[in-house]
Amino acid sequence: MKQSAGLLLFRRHKGELEVFLVHPGGPFWTRKDLGAWTIPKGEQHEGEDPLETAKREFAEETGFSVEGHFMALGSVRQAGGKVVTAWALEADVDPSAIKSNTFRLEWPPRTGTFQEFPEVDRADWFSLHDAHLKLLAAQRDLLNRLVAVSAIS
């Protein structure tokens, strides 16, 4: 079973919680919006600390290094069986300044032509209501958990 770890950044904007989400890059996701966004996350290497994975993947997918008080949100299981462990962090970043790493993919399929695509093609801040619509269904419970931990932080 694949294990991933990620960060759910949040900020308080005009008295409301907002969350930072990313949109996956590559041709499969180009025209998908609702239910396609995700928290910045990635695969955990053998023996790697999950929080260190989350921070590394956040940096690889956004170009930002973040530090602070990380609040555990637990794990969720995605449709394909991947388990994602997440932490919340109150921080502010500029979504227009993301710099994502890339991956190689044969595109179009079966042509022998390979192209580079960004892992993340865009990012943005969303209200909790909008984030619930944008986020992958399996990750939506992280929003409820964020509300619970941010109220006591």
pLDDT digits (tens, 9 = 90+) for 44-70: 999 999 999 999 999 999 999 999 999
- Is residue 153 scored above 60 in pLDDT? no
Could you give the number of structural domains in the chain?
Answer: 1
Q: What is the mean pLDDT of residues 29-35?
A: 94
Q: What is the mean pLDDT of residues 134-139?
A: 97
Residue 50 structural domain: 3-152
pLDDT digits (tens, 9 = 90+) for 76-104: 999 889 999 999 999 999 999 999 999 99
pTM for this model (two decimals) = 0.94
For residue 91, the domain's CATH number is 3.90.79.10
- R_g of the chain, CA atoms, integer Å: 15
Of the candidates 117, 109, 130, the one whose C-alpha atom is nearest the C-alpha of residue 30 is: 117
- For 54, the enclosing helix (H) or strand (E) is helix 50-62
Q: What is the C-alpha to C-alpha distance for residues 118 and 26, in angstroms, rounded to an integer?
A: 7
